[in-house]
Structure 1
């Protein structure tokens, strides 16, 4: 593996149309699970100027006003009415109500081992989890900084420090690596959407973003922008329109920024819009949990865990570990220890992470917060799959 290279990762703010679609999809999942934790629901969203399209299939005892909920999510993002009017936008739905016997109506916490074996996956997937020691949260440095910039753009907009920003912004951070470790910031790109009265000039925009976004994000970092760092801010000029008024969105199109910024593999499957019985979602979470504990245990500087599931089976049909030459013990031994310490069955994942009941414990919902705040790494709360609690057993 190359030891010296340049790697760049991208992230988006919560008002980016793709991210907004993810949030709408997960808000629907939350609402179903808050009323009926045994709901089976899969939902996808697409939007463009003045219109939101939601497709959902579900088996649930819950009653959810999907158009109203979609408008609530859009309204909370903070677009100007001229760009996206939540109250007046058209919401088109395609809903498929399925029989209630499609639900798994049992509490995994009360099941025996044989009963857990009967909870099988309904779709096949090869999912990946990754961790490395580049940051405190054991995430790749480029995507960590791109995500922090995106969240800071939202914070300064909501806090009125830079009130003219649109909710739709994107970030990109290029990092030069030497000997496999982050060495310096090669480039930073901020694409800041604009909404307000008179257009601000490029120099004022640059000054604001450097002072209130870039500066605070890198302030406590050992690796910061230097005199040779290329900082690009709206290199094609000010965007008078942004969000759905400028480009469309769809659930699942930000899989790289949802995970590891392209630094490590992901399945390409959308994480949002799926209840906890979908292994293509929760498999990503348990794989991350496994990889993170391996790195936290000091068994490797970086670790990728690959899990493959097939329809009708409760357990993964394969478990593979890759450490890119950084492990202190054999990868096969790490695989054996993970199998001993983690129950990778679907029912056990739901049980051990409490996935059915998380929405009820968060008044505003749980899953809807993940797209903007992070499915992995640092997020809005302590995510159960981000726990480091088996590192001693792995050692």
Structure 2
């Protein structure tokens, strides 16, 4: 059963946060490989610290990618230009392993028959989770939804030169009080913004600027807004100059909660970024979200978590579990049966249904890198196939 009265917080980070920088480099590399060869197999992981970016990549591809150059392009696009870390001067180290090509011919999952789909088994074992609830229009928990909105707005204020003194690194957090299981009020808002060393602002001026250009625009059209008792913290530990890798290190996959549901629901511990579509720990999470969102859109439950368990060498998940936290209008077992009747969770079926090998060619500037900041799920700014609710009529 879902708790009734509680307070919950979720955080988000801007695209300049070191962990997100690593995620974006990893997914930018994936985009480049898939743009040249849709059947590329890629696992790319990054670590970043003051003045240095390290990339470990394993790949099999007919394409050719200048890996350090892609990393430098991402760093420059994010906006790192200060002395301690910038695209021109930072050291880019690589550990690369070219994998052997598979002995069998590549088959387009969109054109496979049932026997061929069944032959594509999970390449790794794992548990993946998808969640949806009716707290927002995107069917996401309100705390992470608001935290993402604040983080995006914080980044936009810098890029649009409204607050040109801001540096790329930033963090947000929103606390929401729940009553009777529903969001009731905004308990707290935290913004942590870094500034360029040549244009520092005092905390009071920074607070006024961020309230006017970030907090007010974000909450303008929200049903719940800050009230007189809402606690607002802006750089509570004082000014942060430059920030980013010169201040704290980053690592691919370390922001799994930011990538998914802000810890309001369970999520797998595996990284999502930097993995090609053959990795079930990535695409299975998307499929689980798709199923959960359609359950809520169909009105079968106010909140729904879908858990898929995969085993090596098997195509279908060995377990499909549903938890509606006591909000379902039918038993959870019934919801699970309906999901299995209308959703195909086999790896090849997911890849084909979501067109995952060819999305980087469809989206200008790449597809997977777009997911590497501000969430892999719940996105209203990208036409993600797993955010559709087209199967809701079949479930109801």
Q: Normalising TM by the smaller chain, what interval?
A: over 0.9
- TM-aligned CA deviation for residue 68 of structure 1: 0.5
In the alignment, what sits opposite 2:167? 166
Q: Secondary structure at the match of 1:319?
A: strand
Structure 1 residues 362 and 392: alpha-carbon distance in aligned structure 2, compared to 1, 3 A threshold: same
d(CA) in 2 for partners of 1:34, 1:75: 21
Q: For each residue in 1:340-363, what CA deviation from the matched residue of structure 2 results, as whole angstroms up to 9, or x when unmatched?
A: 111110000000000000001112
**Cα RMSD (Å) of the superposition?**
1.0
In the alignment, what sits opposite 1:243? 244
In the alignment, what sits opposite 2:325? 324
- TM-aligned CA deviation for residue 105 of structure 1: 1.1
- TM-aligned CA deviation for residue 319 of structure 1: 0.1
In the alignment, what sits opposite 1:28? 29
- TM-aligned CA deviation for residue 380 of structure 1: 3.4
d(CA) in 2 for partners of 1:310, 1:239: 46
Q: Secondary structure at the match of 1:372?
A: coil
- Within-5 A mapping of 1:68-217: 68-101=69-102, 105-217=106-218
**Large movers: runs of 4+ above 6 Å:** none
d(CA) in 2 for partners of 1:68, 1:379: 30
- TM-aligned CA deviation for residue 26 of structure 1: 0.3
Q: For each residue in 1:105-128, what CA deviation from the matched residue of structure 2 results, as whole angstroms up to 9, or x when unmatched?
A: 110111110011111111001000
**Contact 2:168–2:194 (Cα < 8 Å) also in 1:** yes
**Contact 1:40–1:103 (Cα < 8 Å) also in 2:** no
**Contact 1:61–1:100 (Cα < 8 Å) also in 2:** no
d(CA) in 2 for partners of 1:91, 1:19: 17
Q: For each residue in 1:170-204, what CA deviation from the matched residue of structure 2 results, as whole angstroms up to 9, or x when unmatched?
A: 00000000000000000000000111424211111
d(CA) in 2 for partners of 1:41, 1:204: 46
In the alignment, what sits opposite 1:384? 385
Normalized against structure 1, the TM-score is what?
0.98
Q: Does 2:372 correspond to 1:371?
A: yes
**Structure 1 range deviating more: 122-131 or 99-108:** 99-108
In the alignment, what sits opposite 1:7? 8
**Contact 1:38–1:104 (Cα < 8 Å) also in 2:** no
- TM-aligned CA deviation for residue 103 of structure 1: 7.7
Q: Does 2:266 correspond to 1:265?
A: yes
Q: Secondary structure at the match of 2:356?
A: coil
- Within-5 A mapping of 1:257-296: 257-296=258-297
**Contact 1:276–1:355 (Cα < 8 Å) also in 2:** yes
Q: Secondary structure at the match of 1:321?
A: strand
- TM-aligned CA deviation for residue 79 of structure 1: 1.6
In the alignment, what sits opposite 1:252? 253
Q: Secondary structure at the match of 1:101?
A: coil
Normalized against structure 2, the TM-score is what?
0.98
**Contact 2:197–2:242 (Cα < 8 Å) also in 1:** no
d(CA) in 2 for partners of 1:163, 1:50: 23
d(CA) in 1 for partners of 2:53, 2:103: 28
Q: Secondary structure at the match of 2:233?
A: strand
d(CA) in 2 for partners of 1:155, 1:226: 25
**Contact 2:14–2:374 (Cα < 8 Å) also in 1:** no
In the alignment, what sits opposite 1:362? 363
d(CA) in 2 for partners of 1:339, 1:221: 36
**Contact 1:27–1:365 (Cα < 8 Å) also in 2:** yes
Q: Does 2:67 correspond to 1:40?
A: no
In the alignment, what sits opposite 1:350? 351
In the alignment, what sits opposite 2:58? 57
**Contact 2:359–2:367 (Cα < 8 Å) also in 1:** yes
**Contact 1:193–1:240 (Cα < 8 Å) also in 2:** yes
For structure 1, the 5+ residue unaligned runs are none
- TM-aligned CA deviation for residue 392 of structure 1: 0.5
- TM-aligned CA deviation for residue 87 of structure 1: 1.2
d(CA) in 2 for partners of 1:302, 1:26: 30
